[in-house]
Amino acid sequence: MKLLRYGETGSEKPGMLDADGNLRDLSGIVDDISGDVLSDAGLDKLRAVDPASLPLVEGNPRLGPCVGGIGKFCCIGLNYSDHAAETGAKIPDHPILFMKANSAIVGPNDTVMMPRGSTNTDWEVELGVVIGTAAKYVSAENALDHVAGYCVINDVSERHFQTQLSGNWTKGKSCDTFGPTGPWLVTRDEVADPQKLAMHLDVNGKRMQTGNTNTMIFTVAQIIEHLSGLFTLQPGDVISTGTPPGVGMGMKPNPVYLKKGDVMELSIEGLGQQRQTVGQDA
């Protein structure tokens, strides 16, 4: 299934795509794509619904983040061997974890606003993992059983804030609008192998990132095992699993960063596409 949320910011309704790609309204079945809806039982309930019986949503409404009420937004840094190489970073011994503020979360096509004073805002296409059932001290062997599904995330980053303002990476990762999520949640039964997904990102029509989740240093299962040994992963928590090479910071001989009016377009195989125009806070 492809589950999504649509409508104005803060008033999104739950929906699903039918076999023809039409948007169907789920608000008569569930209140939101969140919480218990993401459990195996909750998703089975939705699978039992005939999409043709649901109201057809007309027009082209705004798409919101594909998951509502996100609890933790966990992010993994330097998790692609080829991305680590382009930045000159050492391969980490354990997953590098930072958190992204929930106030960064926006829809897949919402405007990304560079904060005041930003000159080093960068792009990062990433595989998002949505937790469906609570996970604590799980092994890699059964970690994927706790996944509701997968989605596209743009881990937008302000590199000066991230590296030069002291503290940790969160400062450059948590600016408002720096977490476009969606367009939809693709349930795990439709993703045969999360470690074999092609991905790319374009800026102004130019291909910047081309990668595949098969170059992850730590797999999705290994990441869940590691994080669940630190804290409980709850339904609706989201994990952004790292980015392949081609980020602006890694461009040679000089880094390339976003500017007002730029357009980012990014996609992951089977998970849909995002498109954001870049704005600038006054």
The CATH code of the domain that includes 269 is 3.90.850.10
pLDDT at 273: 98
Q: Is residue 32 part of a domain?
A: yes
Whether 264 and 132 map to the same domain: the answer is yes
Give pTM, 2 decimals. 0.96
Average pLDDT over residues 19-45: 97
3-class DSSP assignment, residue 209 = strand
Q: Is residue 58 part of a domain?
A: no
- Both tokens of 198, joined, read 């092609």
Q: How far is CA 113 from CA 26, 60, 158, 240, in A?
A: 31, 23, 11, 20
CA distance 146 to 243: 22
Residue 111's domain spans which residues? 73-280
Q: What are 94-141's pLDDT values in tens digits? A: 999 999 999 999 999 999 999 998 999 999 999 999 999 999 999 999
pLDDT at 83: 77
Q: Is residue 66 part of a domain?
A: no
Number of domains within the chain:
2
Whether 40 and 122 map to the same domain: the answer is no
Whether 241 and 157 map to the same domain: the answer is yes
Whether 93 and 25 map to the same domain: the answer is no
CA distance 241 to 74: 8
Whether 130 and 39 map to the same domain: the answer is no
Q: Is residue 274 part of a domain?
A: yes
Whether 224 and 263 map to the same domain: the answer is yes
Whether 29 and 152 map to the same domain: the answer is no
Whether 194 and 276 map to the same domain: the answer is yes
CA distance 168 to 247: 19
Q: Is residue 223 part of a domain?
A: yes
Whether 216 and 106 map to the same domain: the answer is yes
Whether 101 and 25 map to the same domain: the answer is no
Whether 158 and 206 map to the same domain: the answer is yes
Show Cβ contacts of residue 90 under 8 Å, excluding neighbours closer than 6 positions.
Answer: 84
Mean residue pLDDT of the chain comes to 96
Q: What are 170-209's pLDDT values in tens digits? A: 888 999 999 999 999 999 999 999 999 999 999 999 999 9
Whether 11 and 91 map to the same domain: the answer is no
Q: Is residue 18 part of a domain?
A: yes
Q: Is residue 62 part of a domain?
A: no
Give the start-end residues of each E strand in the chain: 2-6, 13-17, 23-25, 73-77, 96-99, 105-106, 112-114, 121-122, 125-131, 147-154, 157-158, 179-180, 185-187, 198-203, 206-212, 238-240, 263-268, 272-280
Q: Is the pLDDT of residue 231 over 80?
A: yes
Q: Is residue 239 part of a domain?
A: yes
pLDDT at 122: 97
